[in-house]
Structure 1
Amino acid sequence: MIRFGREEDIEALRRIYNDEVEHSVATFDLDPRTPEEMEEWFRAHHGIHRLLVWEEAGEAVAYATLSPYRQRKAFDATVELSVYVRQDQRGKGIGRALMEKLLEEARRDPGIHTVISVITSENTGSIRLHQRLGFTFCGRIQQAGFKFGRWLGIDHYQIMVDEPEDMAEKGKS
């Protein structure tokens, strides 16, 4: 079941994220998040910066977020999408369902113009999923981060979520 994130999800979400930090290149974070850092992260996800959770048997087993893309005012209508699925829940379509719901939410929000995903270049599963959902490849940065003793690149993908006639209006603000 997909729902908005709740405060009681924070620890489960932290475990999911920290597993990625410690065992994968899905994130370039090198240090696991502390409970305090995760609480601060949670509080930052409201308004256009949504947090959706997939709940299974009363526990959050996956989540997807829209976060600020950059801190400059000109980027306010651009958000960055991230999705993390607990290891034992992968391959069930949960990540795709969360992304589809999050994109649906973004399309309904007049404050969002474009959604960006920054994906580790070797994460072919995530890249294929983004392509299937209509994201367009925008470019690759080679050797952008160093993790697990090797250099990793990042690919940028983008999808516009508003109608073309809305774009000019948003650009005026």
Structure 2
Amino acid sequence: MSELVIRSITKNDVSACLAIYNYEVIHGVATLDLEPRTLEEWHEWYSAHQTVEHCIFVGTIDGVVVGYASLSPYRLKDAFKSTVELSIYIHQDYRGKGVASKLMAHILEHAKENDTLHTVVSVITAGNEASTALHTRFNFTYCGLTPEVGFKHGKYQDTETYALLV
């Protein structure tokens, strides 16, 4: 496998990120979205992540987007400005190859360098062992389980919240 290159997202990467996300919408539970997102919605997502605090990084191999990591607003109230929610999605063909770890290291370093950020939160669908292991490896604190908060693929899904002070 060629070298993973991590860089800021460009408009040209939006459709590749959308394909990665929508695969998970249809086939998995890493997102509790039930319907695939549209390209128009994803361009809005891209536009909303053009600040230092709210950003997206893509991982590419040989110029192909194989995953992305984003920092999004955690809550809309001003008191939460210094907290962001982390999301990492990896193309199904590149899972288990270290892409998520490298994206996690990169985006956490970015968050630590930002004087306005204090806390990174992740909400993970319970049972996602790879994501749980990733967050444990990066010293996130387990904050608790929210039982049966979503219904997808014929069953109720729990979520687990993790946080890291940066």
- TM > 0.5: yes
Q: Over residues 69-112 of structure 1, what are the superposed CA-to-partner deviations in whole Å (9 max), with x where a residue is unaligned?
A: 01111101000000000000111100010011000000000110
| Alignment-derived partner of residue 55 in structure 1 | 60
SS of the residue corresponding to residue 135 of structure 2 reads helix
- Match for 1:111 among 116, 124, 127? 116
Q: Which has the larger radius of gyration?
A: 1
- Match for 1:96 among 101, 104, 109? 101
Using the alignment, how far apart are the partners of 2:119 and 2:93 within structure 1? 31
**In structure 2, what residue type is equivalent to 1:67?**
S
| Alignment-derived partner of residue 166 in structure 1 | none
5+ long unaligned stretches in structure 1: 162-173
- Match for 2:83 among 73, 78, 93? 78
**In structure 1, what residue type is equivalent to 2:128?**
N
Using the alignment, how far apart are the partners of 1:61 and 1:117 within structure 2? 20
5+ long unaligned stretches in structure 2: none
SS of the residue corresponding to residue 12 of structure 2 reads helix
| Alignment-derived partner of residue 22 in structure 2 | 18
Aligned residues: 161
The residue correspondences of 1:24-173 to structure 2 (distance < 5 A) are: 24-47=28-51, 48-161=53-166
**TM-score w.r.t. structure 2 length?**
0.96
Using the alignment, how far apart are the partners of 2:88 and 2:97 within structure 1? 14
**TM-score w.r.t. structure 1 length?**
0.92
Using the alignment, how far apart are the partners of 2:14 and 2:110 within structure 1? 21
| Alignment-derived partner of residue 168 in structure 1 | none
Percent identity, aligned pairs only, is 47
SS of the residue corresponding to residue 12 of structure 1 reads helix
**In structure 2, what residue type is equivalent to 1:133?**
F
Using the alignment, how far apart are the partners of 1:71 and 1:53 within structure 2? 25
